[in-house]
Amino acid sequence: MLDLEVVPERSLGNEQWEFALGMPFSQAISILQKHCRIIKNVQVLYSEQTPLSHDLILNLTQDGIKLLFDATNQRLKVIEVYDLSKVKLKYCGVHFNSQAIAPTIEQIDQSFGATHPGVYNPAEQLFHLNFRGLSFSFQLDSWNEAPKYEIPHGAMVKRMHIYTGNNLQETKAPAMPLACFMGNIFAECVDVLRDGAGPLGLKLRLLTAGSGLSVMADSKVRYLERSIFFGDSCQDVLGALGSPHKIFYKSEDKMKIHSPSPHKQVPSKCNDYFFNYFTLGVDILFDSTTHLVKKFVLHTNYPGHYNFNIYHRCDFKIPLVIKKEGADSQTEECILTTYSKWDQIQELLGHPMEKPVVLHRSSSANNTNPFGSTFCFGLQRMIFEVMQNNHIASVTLYGAPRTTSQARPESSASSH
């Protein structure tokens, strides 16, 4: 049985790990994977058709705990303990719920020092006792005529919630705690820069938690702005974003190693390679011969997609140029975001797209993909990968065909 410390408005955890409000979804998953021998039978709950309308939930069924993540920013919003018989709980190091200690109103009063009465909800038949960032719900089913003004003696806690602020109904996921940065850089938002023909590059607003040598040396979040463009070199990108989490070589010639003399392959036969920035939700493809940027991939990290939880959500904005039919033949701009749906985009364009390319991913080890195919549509040097619920799974941006004599865009010089 888990033995956990409750910190109101902050976290639930022990000396090895903690679920902290504001923690990204992927970090909570990492904790569960690391401790999978102790924390078992975890469910991921989400809405398949409308993933933005319901919280993304991790249900620790064996431990009676639910972690509710904001559907948009995918950070931890509420920690709910819904079965107190499956977990031990303490506050300031002293247990208020265990096999030996029942979580009665008297016990909660003793541990937390209630300063105001509970609030009765007749619809739920529950009394709610609220503190800042923490609330307890008491079950009243043993009383026929429930008193409406105070919690009866011996009433037991049915549920506990940890959240930010004073109101559970209105709470929002807080900013990511410093402890969750772990040396990584995160993107608050990513703007696609473009001209009339198509995309030119990305402008990223980045978050980082200081760079001091000791933990306390520079313990605050810093904001940086960086721009990267098609035709930028590896060094430009490393200077702007730092090292990638992973470098992935495209697999057109996985069989190269089996050739008679792989070391004698001519340079043009090298593979293009990706820099994967998982915490930014961005991949950058470099040409194998020039080592210049030729493609960007932005990931939306929707549940129900094959790549879910590999990348953090990239919160992007892409200006689309829409040509209006008529005598003036004017163009109009609209902004497409991570949360736009494909049918809305098609309506704005005012004409049906060409037939999509169907993309069916599967791993080589296990050739089944439970999430089904996605559909790829091309538009203004961009490829939109669309899920069956009409949400965008990823956007791939291509640079204009360029000659080697072309210089980088002027605006990029000032951003380095």
pLDDT in the model for residue 359: 87
pLDDT in the model for residue 147: 59
Match 């006792």 to its residue by tokens.
129
pLDDT in the model for residue 122: 81
Predicted TM-score (pTM) of the model is 0.88
Chain-centroid distance of CA 93 in Å reads 32
Q: Which of 414, 350, 399 is nearest to 194 (CA)?
A: 399
| pLDDT tens for the chain, residues 1 to 416 | 999 999 999 999 999 999 999 999 999 999 999 999 999 999 999 999 999 999 999 999 999 999 999 999 999 999 999 999 999 999 999 999 999 999 999 999 999 987 678 888 888 888 899 999 999 999 875 555 555 667 788 889 999 999 999 999 999 999 999 999 999 999 999 999 998 889 999 999 999 986 555 555 557 899 999 999 999 999 999 999 999 999 999 875 544 554 555 555 554 468 899 999 999 999 999 999 999 999 999 999 999 999 999 999 999 999 988 876 655 666 778 899 999 999 988 888 766 667 888 887 765 555 566 778 899 998 889 999 999 999 999 999 999 875 444 445 444 333 33
Under 8 Å between Cβ of 201 and 408 = no
pLDDT in the model for residue 383: 93
Q: Which of 56, 66, 72 is nearest to 12 (CA)?
A: 66
pLDDT in the model for residue 228: 98
Q: Which two tokens stand for residue 376?
A: 């790829």
Q: Which of 394, 370, 342, 396 is nearest to 48 (CA)?
A: 370
Q: Which of 302, 300, 56 is nearest to 187 (CA)?
A: 300
pLDDT in the model for residue 412: 37
pLDDT in the model for residue 335: 93
Collapsing DSSP states into helix, strand and coil, what is residue 285? strand
DSSP secondary structure code for residue 312 in this structure: -
Residue 226 neighbours by CB under 8 Å, 6+ apart:
203, 204, 206, 240, 241, 415
State the first-to-last Cα distance of the chain, in angstroms, to the nearest integer: 53
Q: Which two tokens stand for residue 392?
A: 């965008």
pLDDT in the model for residue 148: 62
Q: Which of 345, 393, 353 is nearest to 372 (CA)?
A: 393
| Beta pairing, strands 199-208 & 331-337 | unpaired
